[in-house]
Amino acid sequence: MSIRIPESLRTQIDATDRRSCCYCLTSETVSGTPLTYDHITPASRGGLTTFDNVCLACRTCNEFKTNTIRAVDPLTQESTPLFHPRQQHWQDHFAWSLDGTKIEGTTAIAAISINARSSIRAVTSTIVVAG
Ligand SMILES: [Zn+2]
């Protein structure tokens, strides 16, 4: 489902998210791939096209998330909401690995929100930032 994002809202989101994915922090400049506007609560689930519900996401994170808003935590078997970039702080749920090559989850919310491909993108970001 393609939903038109008004120009004024895109401008606000671009400035706030600094043209970086809100889930893996990959910058559009580093990846060279245009970011997408992600409905955090998908429109198909009633999510609105508002600043509080739309953020920038790389295509990998957006496609991984699809229309999911919750997942089962494999450790507790409890249904857990995915990371919400507008309501939660990335640093409260994720951290860089000690060698700086991967994003690691520090909470159940993060554990179910991470996908393997975001770690690959994180490596790319780290190399550029360090260089
Ligand atoms: Zn991402």
Mean pLDDT for all residues in the chain: 83
Is 123 domain-assigned? yes
Position 131 scores a pLDDT of 28
Position 77 scores a pLDDT of 84
Residue 72 Cα to ligand 1 midpoint, Å, equals 21
d(CA 93, CA 111): 9
Residue type, 65: K
Residue 78 Cα to ligand 1 midpoint, Å, equals 25
Residue 45 Cα to ligand 1 midpoint, Å, equals 21
| Helical spans, DSSP H, in 45-115 | 59-65, 108-113
Contact 104, 71 (CB under 8 A): no
* Mean pLDDT to the nearest integer, 73-78: 80
pTM equals 0.81
Residue 1 binned pLDDT confidence (cut-offs 50, 70, 90): low
Is 56 domain-assigned? yes
* Mean pLDDT to the nearest integer, 74-86: 87
**Computed from CA positions of residues 74, 76, 77, 80, in that sequence, does the dihedral angle turn out positive or negative?**
negative
Domain span holding position 13: 7-130
Residue 6 Cα to ligand 1 midpoint, Å, equals 22
Of 9, 29, 5, the C-alpha closest to 19 is 29
Domain count across the chain: 1
Is 102 domain-assigned? yes
**Residue ranges with CB less than 5 Å from ion ligand 1:** 21, 23-24, 58, 61
